[in-house]
Amino acid sequence: MPTVVFVHAHPDDEALLTSGTMARLSERGYRVVLVMATDGAAGLTSHEISHDHNLAQVRASELTESCRVLGVSGFHQLGYADSGLDGQADVPAGATRFADVDPGVVADRLVALFEEEEADVVVGYDSAGGYGHPDHVQVHKAVQRASTRFPRAALLEATLPREPMLRVVRIIRSQRWAVPALGGLDLQTWQHAFTPRSEITYRVDVRPFIAAKRASLQAHASQAAADDGPRTLSALLKLPKPVFRRVLGREWYRQVTSGDPVRAGLLADAFGPKYSPRRRRADRQ
């Protein structure tokens, strides 16, 4: 059974970026493995939840539920601390911020996991680290390094197309809407965020798996329960179902390497067909 290993930075990143693909692959008979780098404990949450429970434990049980609804058959926690968006998050004694670790050390651990899981495809992040979170940049670096030492597996980067994201951010800023995650960063960041559309290799239609994606997002309930302003997850979960399907019905990947010839054939089945942005009318305007 072919195995696809997804490496993510924080609990809920798998839900936002790749959960539809994970559900699709597990239904098609692939082994889906999730490697989670941090416990996500620096994420914002409601006062009530952080007061009553250990946030890392809450995140872990949410992640277990997300894995269950997505059909994940192997799960590994690297156990680093969430570095926070500024890379300076307070961490418990003895814990290490993920972004402070030498990427080579993380890569060593990933190579061992890729071998153990007999990975055919590995999925990391784009070089911008999406919108630039230091833990996402670290995932990019570590997975890329590990991939050069495990060349038989294909390497993909989970991403979003930059241009439509930038358009949405411009509209939000011009309207002065308070939209979490999008409004707080400057335009400069978004001009370099994620991946130009022309470099995207696969646009996976996950609309048939949108219920699993929604369930995965819902599993991360503490993320949606922040009391210091609306959060991305809760905003998304409040969308009417047809809008949710439209906004989150596709997932995006850039192919970096195709692995050995056996794996190259796998990619077309698992993620294909290849995306061709030139066919899109919106881009010609």
Residues lying near Zn ion in the complex (CB under 5 A): 9-10, 13
Q: At closest approach, how far in Å is the CB of 133 from Zn ion? A: 5
Q: At closest approach, how far in Å is the CB of 263 from Zn ion? A: 27
Nearer to Zn ion, 83 or 201 (CB): 83
Q: Which residue is nearest to Zn ion, using beta carbons? A: 10
Q: At closest approach, how far in Å is the CB of 100 from Zn ion? A: 16
Nearer to Zn ion, 130 or 259 (CB): 130
Nearer to Zn ion, 128 or 266 (CB): 128
Give the helix ranges, DSSP H, for 79-148.
103-117, 134-148
Separation between Cα atoms, residue 119 and residue 135, nearest integer Å: 23
Closest C-alpha among 56, 66, 85 to residue 26: 66
Nearer to Zn ion, 31 or 97 (CB): 97
**CA geometry: angle 185, 103, 256, nearest 5 deg:** 75
Give the helix ranges, DSSP H, for 118-161.
134-148
The number of C-alpha atoms within 13 Å of 257 and in the hemisphere containing its C-beta is: 21
Strand order in the sheet with 154-159: 74-80, 31-38, 3-8, 121-125, 154-159, 250-257, 202-205
Nearer to Zn ion, 20 or 129 (CB): 129
Sign of CA dihedral 129, 125, 255, 149: positive
Separation between Cα atoms, residue 275 and residue 26, nearest integer Å: 22
Q: At closest approach, how far in Å is the CB of 139 from Zn ion? A: 9
Q: At closest approach, how far in Å is the CB of 49 from Zn ion? A: 18
